[in-house]
Amino acid sequence: MNSRIGPVERATKRSWDEWLAFMERAGASELDHKAIAVKVFYELEGTGIEPLGWWTQAVTTAYEQYIGRRIPGQRPDGTFQMSVSRSTKLGMPELMEAWVAFAPADEFVAGAIEGEPKVSGTERRITWRVKGAGGSQIIVTSEPKPNGTASLIAAQLGLPSPELNDEARASWTEAVARFLRTLPPPR
């Protein structure tokens, strides 16, 4: 069974059979990703599910994987993406400052990027973006947690194959682990 189905059922309070019936009525098997997502969005709108856009994508992707249109990690354009997420004891700004200092000194990260990273942020997240080798995109985000700490999410998008996606996941998992070892111990 698709690993996305259980969370979709719990969050939307609908069985997978109910979602399949909805998709059948909507003619989803003949629609592209965006058109399915629009139908799901309007179906979920007003139900109180948050974040609405995220769950819209989760339902749509679970359906596309269920019917065999996509495999896990595959984006609508046929490329692949991966991400690695870890919680830390640092606050959001301190976490990104530490990443910005770490990234150019790490052999893997420095070799994976092309060009100069750009950092931008809001009170909801701080993002470090850069082009990756082979035309991919690398995004590292610091996102706040309710207790004043933050999580680091490293993602690489636009990978051409599942094999390269798996390799990227392993490499980024190791890079994030190296980064976490550089952080000061919690007080």
Alpha-carbon distance 165 to 30, whole Å?
A: 28
pLDDT at 132: 94
Q: 27: which residues sit within 8 A by CB, 6+ positions away?
A: none
Question: What are the angstrom distances between the C-alpha of 169 and each of 74, 83, 86, 110, 119?
Answer: 13, 7, 13, 16, 22
Checking if the pLDDT of 56 tops 90, the result is: yes
In sequence order, which ranges of 67-103 are alpha helices (DSSP H)? 92-102
Alpha-carbon distance 141 to 156, whole Å?
A: 11
Checking if the pLDDT of 131 tops 80, the result is: yes
pLDDT at 186: 66
Determine contact, residues 153/176, Cβ cutoff 8 Å: no
Percent of the chain clearing pLDDT 90 (strictly above) = 80
Beta bridge partners of 129: 118, 139
Phi, psi of 7 (to 5 degrees): -60, -35
The mean pLDDT value for 172-187 works out to 90
The mean pLDDT value for 134-148 works out to 92
Going by pLDDT thresholds of 50, 70 and 90, the confidence category of residue 74 is: confident
Percent of the chain clearing pLDDT 70 (strictly above) = 98
Going by pLDDT thresholds of 50, 70 and 90, the confidence category of residue 184 is: confident
Structure tokens, 13: 């309070």
Query: pLDDT tens for residues 75-94?
Result: 888 899 999 999 999 999 99
pLDDT at 107: 96
